[in-house]
Amino acid sequence: MTERSRLDELVNKRVVLITGKGGVGRSVMTAALAKLAAKRGKRVLVTEVGDEGDDYSPLARHWNRERLPKHPEPLETNIHGAVLLARTGQELFLKSVLRSGTIARAALSSDALRRLLSAGPSFREMGVFFQLLMALREKTGTNPTHELILIDMPATGHTLSLTGLPELLLKLVPGGPIAAALKEGQTYLNDPKLAAAWIVTLPETLPVSECLELIDGLKKTKMPVGGVVVNRMPADPFTRAEREALAPLVDQHAWLGRELFKKPIVAHRELARLRSHTALPLFVTPELPHEGLIASLTTLLDDANPLPMPSGGA
Amino acid sequence: MSDVRVGELLRTKKVIVCCGAGGVGKTTTAAAISIAAARAGRRVLVLTIDPSRRLAETLGVSRNPTDPVRIPKDRSDAAGITTGSLDAWMLDIKLVSDGAVRRLVKSEADAQRILTNRIYQQVSTMVAGMHEYTAMEALHRLVHAGQYDLVVLDTPPSRNALDFLEAPKRLSGLVDSRAISAFLPKSDSLVARTASRVIEKILGAVFGHEFAHEFVTFIATFTSIFQSLNVDVNEMRRFLSGDDVAFLLVSSPAPAALTEASFFHDKTRELSLPFRAFVLNRSHATDAGRPMPTVPQDASEAVRSGLPKLAGLAEIEKAAAVRDLTLLGELQKRAGQGATAIALPDLPQGADDVSTLVTVAEALASS
């Protein structure tokens, strides 16, 4: 199977987690994938894991909003958006279990319970997890309301807490409504036909090392990994002869431009290292101008276009 | 200009706390500070939680030992440490919190009962604030043991640089007696008893009754421990506001860095913590003095055709250098009299060898 068709498969899932460390272009990639899937006629819900006090969302920015709404609202044709908040999820969950909104709200406004729920990251993840489950369950007629749910995941640690949540909590709470919700969630998240995590990384030393660690971590939590997007692959403007002639001069004089001169070499070395350590599909996207970034990425990811391959390098 | 110097801090302070959001190179900076201080002849310990595999490998220490370990002689020699010494402790949350339980509980039987409680086993690693609390606890103990001149703390990774300061408060907020008493079955007032019955009922409906019962028992067993924990958090605050301590904020030259820096600055002031320096990591500010490419006298054809392209790249780097210099200037202004701001270079290879760390250490020692 080609890498292109693996990427294509992504839009046919029910839930896709976009993960990777900060600053690698995760939100941009999430937005581009949402637009691509919408263009193919999928009803998409684009989400991110948020915090109560957040005043800024890098993802919402792509739809000219300060932040995403608490409950799904249309952002553009075929795309809804919502932020996944622990508290919203906990409230939804308590409502469904206690079958009364009043008691659920009273329970959540209890100082003791509120503190408990906000202190335990597992309770927070549980809220997020449940909100996601509700979105997965939602139906319009007999069809899922949101055919594809894309989640822009926060830092990698949080991703592993969320994907590892069912197993951790099921050990602690083997029965009851939480267990039932967790098991239902597992039927989606642990099924490679329905779910995938895609890791966004950069062709640099530390991001590649962290990406490899994350692949292992996700596998341990039974989360199927769809593949890796290697973002911002630098183009190499130099010919081989130019490189060989310039390399000693650049070092000798410590000229400005030295780091960018070496960047494509490092990038190709790191891409090769990633390839040699994982059999997962890798999708390489080039460095693109800031202007119209989402549009160019969406076009790039679309299979109507040839697979982009960075030129040059060692 | 402020008269605070980072080189001076690492030669004189007893504790340096490195704060910062995740992914800014905080662990690398903490390691470089430690190396710089050890090179200056001090006995140094670097304390870090959940470090990357790479840093542990670079320093040649295993992850999660029960106590601090001396870095091997070949690394120590490579780092140019002679009269000083460098120990590292890559903390394991569970080991440290088990240790804390043993110290806080009077009898071994009580300790065993807690350590084998399955709720404790999960909670000890999953309660927010536990990482931060653990780090503070270890720091406090090791500083008072007196075997180190300087302890450098690399705070746990988080989205927000302030989490480290806030998390222990959240933990002590949870264990605040008012919140706890609602879970306890025994209470004098009818209102409290009713409230605790309602809570147990809700917990029962949500978690299942077996778990709810176990949970309430767990909270009851832990009340005393939580209370001593609470005291410790305040005691640690006092300790961290001392004159021997310096707080550093590590950030990267992102647009948000400035906002974060002033937020952090205000917060440390509000908490009376001794904030001493902004460290602008991965910055190009130090590149500003490097020369633009020029055509050498006996340039080959390949050099001549390649140079214009290189000049283009040099312009981009120059612009980055100017931008980061401006940012550094802003940070210095914000730091005021009692603190400073310095820039550390972007390390293209990552901190994967001792010599890279030494380069950073040298920059720190002379700043």
In the prediction, which pLDDT does B216 show?
67
Q: What is the CA radius of gyration of chain A?
A: 22
Query: Which of A105-109, B7-11, B289-293 holds the top average pLDDT?
Result: B7-11
Q: For residue range B219-258, what is the model confidence (pLDDT) as tens digits? A: 666 555 555 555 466 777 788 888 999 999 998 887 777 7
- Supply B87's token pair: 């120990």
Tokens at residue B269, please? Answer: 């002031």
> Which value, to the nearest 10 degrees, does the dihedral of the CA atoms of residues A122, A128, A130, A133 take?
-130
Structure tokens at B217: 């028992």
Determine, for residues B207 and A243 on separate chains, whether the beta-carbon distance falls below 8 Å.
no
Which chain B residues have a beta carbon less than 8 Å from that of A121?
126-128
| CB < 8 Å to B22, chain A | 21-22, 155, 157
Query: A112, B290: Cβ pair inside 8 Å?
Result: no
Q: Is residue B193 part of a domain?
A: no
Q: Which residues of A touch B51 (CB under 8 A)?
A: none
Helices (H), ranges, B105-189: 108-116, 118-126, 130-145, 163-174, 177-181
Q: How many percent of chain A have pLDDT more than 90?
A: 55
Residue B160: predicted pLDDT: 59
Please check whether residue A213 touches B, CB under 8 A.
yes
> What is d(CA A310, CA B283) in angstroms, rounded to the nearest whole number?
27
pLDDT in tens, B162-218: 666 666 666 555 555 455 555 555 555 666 666 667 767 777 777 677 667 666 666
pLDDT digits (tens, 9 = 90+) for A40-68: 999 999 999 987 766 678 899 899 998 89
Burial tier of A311 (Cβ tally within 10 Å: 0-12, 13-18, 19+)? exposed
Tokens of A294: 């989402």
Structural domain contains residue B107 = no
What SS3 class is residue A305? coil
Chain A residues 167-196 with a CB less than 8 Å from chain B: 168, 171-179
Separation of alpha carbons A175 and A177, rounded Å: 7
**β-pair partners for B279:** B250, B342
In a domain, B285, yes or no: yes
> Domain range for residue B298?
6-102+129-174+240-365
Which B-chain residues 275-294 have CB contacts (< 8 A) with chain A? 287, 290-294
Highest-scoring range by mean pLDDT, A17-26, B63-72, B308-317: B308-317
Tell if the CB–CB gap between B314 and A98 is shorter than 8 Å: no
In a domain, B352, yes or no: yes
Q: Which helix (H) or strand (E) holds A195?
A: strand A195-201
Residue B9 has pLDDT above 50, yes or no: yes
Could you say which DSSP state residue B272 is in? T
Q: List CB contacts (< 8 A) between A210 and chain B.
A: 52
Rounded CA-CA distance A146/B62 in Å is 47
Q: Cα separation of B231 and B175, whole Å?
A: 11
In a domain, B286, yes or no: yes
Which neighbouring-strand residues pair with A198? A18, A227
pLDDT in the model for residue B317: 93
Q: Is B192 in CB contact (< 8 Å) with chain A?
A: no
- Residue B321 domain-assigned (yes or no): yes
Gyration radius of chain B's alpha carbons:
25
The side-by-side arrangement of strands in the sheet containing B43-49 is: B69-70, B85-91, B43-49, B150-154, B15-19, B245-251, B275-283, B340-345
Is A243–B306 a contact, with Cβ atoms under 8 angstroms apart? Answer: yes
Q: What is the ipTM of this complex?
A: 0.74
Chain A residues lying within 8 Å of B159, measured CB to CB: 51, 154-155
For residues B314 and A11, give the distance between their C-alpha atoms in angstroms, rounded to a whole number: 41
How many domains, chain B? Answer: 1
Question: pLDDT digit string (tens) for A159-215?
Answer: 888 898 888 778 777 777 888 999 999 999 999 999 999 999 999 888 898 899 999
Q: A57-61, A143-147, B57-61, B194-198 — which one is most confidently predicted on average?
A: A143-147
Residue B18: inside a domain = yes
Q: CA angle at residue A236 from A230 to A241, to 5 degrees?
A: 145
Residues of chain B positioned with their CB less than 8 A from the CB of A245: 300, 302-303, 306
Interface test with B, best of A165, A173, A256, A311 (most B CBs within 10 A): A256
Asked if the structure places residue B216 within a domain, the reply is no
Q: How many whole angstroms separate alpha carbon B76 and alpha carbon A271?
A: 32
CATH superfamily, domain at A3-85+121-301: P-loop containing nucleotide triphosphate hydrolases (3.40.50.300)
What's residue B77's pLDDT? 94
CATH of the domain at B62: 3.40.50.300
